[in-house]
Structure 1
């Protein structure tokens, strides 16, 4: 082995070595201090009178480090600038990710708000324009045929130019969809007949009774018995429609029963769709983005918007008691949309 004079000595013989105040620098790590002696500056420790010679290591530089991942400088406690920059980059990436999530959420909210706005706007325009046409052209069947014909042409054009993917429907699926199409056409036909006889606001007040028909038909054909909460929510709907009907200035039995028939047809469509179709197969632009409760509440608000806009546009005379009945019915629809989502508690075995 190589040997050299290396000594044990008393504390008094050690020259004082001041490294400064460690606590003053928050970035200081004493483990990372490195030491190096050159041949010319190495202290002669064998001069002590109490020295005892022992084997020594070769004269070379040595250092201590807590991690090889941190390159260190001699007699310094500051990590290399490259690692400090790495920490800053990581923090910047995390902040950028958070900002990206916020911007994405804002974009989704804006798109959803735009879809709801277009939904309401198109409904307002359709009902007002439909009423104007039916006031001068008293043929609701012809109007309905023209409406569905235009819709068919638009769909065919969308398929032709690949604006919307054409679904592949088998014969069995077509046979199942056909009854849904028939009741859907009847629902729109009866709505047009009602709009031709009574005010738009009254037609939509009567159509607020759709939940009542939905509960009755589901119990009859699907065996879905309503809960007490659902039955309770139907009371203000029926009561509000009855109050609005008694005080309606434009009341007409033909218009009243046409609106009721529209409710029956539309809810029959919903019941049939539950029997022959899977929910996931039927999707709409708004239903893809919100929960069913949000969509139901939005539909209730849509009816309010249509009623108010039609009253303002046509300057329909409305009595306070009539407004109260309409408000009670719509409040019942909102309550129904909420309690319908309440799941019954499972009974303990």
Structure 2
């Protein structure tokens, strides 16, 4: 049985129905619906052949070529689908709900699967994803200078039942020149947007949504404009943490990283850091004096933070001091602080 459904209907299906993306591996890698598995009807090269035939010869010849290319693969498609969906219930999509997903849905249905065919395919999902960034949410932004522990506090807020979106986790980058930590690999821009949209679909938009203060770009990725604009105009809690405490935290986090990586990242910001400070920072790294290295680069990052804060409306910035090194204590302190503020000052 084949049932055609819209993408928003798919998300409402009970039991988490597996989703088969029958586009090529290259299309899937560029961007896919979070949680989908790749069941490619064609290889990357085969899709090019079929597309060229369609344009240069015609539709019927392209269809015949498609059957020639996939003829021996159908049992493999079904076996793969059975591995992922042993209950024989599966959703299927291609780029825009055309022949590829139609053929796969027909074959799986013939075998006995209950198939949900996504109307409009991945293209309809992308429209849906972009719409999520337009919807208003009750943002609360957690700000503070580099090393204040914002990301850790966000995680504690989430454990306390607060709604949190961790943009740096989604972007696989910690925001600074050193943000890859010499190990993180960022997703594509499209996949970043897809992952963010799927987190947004589950939030209660009447309830506070905590997000860390970020610049528009996180590494090579860009926060979608409608989402970023809401962040920029939202109330920001500016936590004040002492310099020594920040230096200690950053030294523990970045100190163990390879010297070559830290030097390369420092060189990338040499124009903003300044020639003398760059030289001093690299010397500190080479000597293994990580605390001194952190203190030098913090001068630059603190100035940048101050410039960014100056762009915000003063009435939208709430300041509080943080002294504990226990992030659970800090998260609770922030929540208590929010509860003492008139509701008109925040969402």
Q: Return the TM-score normalized by structure 1.
A: 0.21
Flag the structure with higher strand content. Answer: 2
Larger Rg: 1
Which structure has the highest helix share of the two?
1
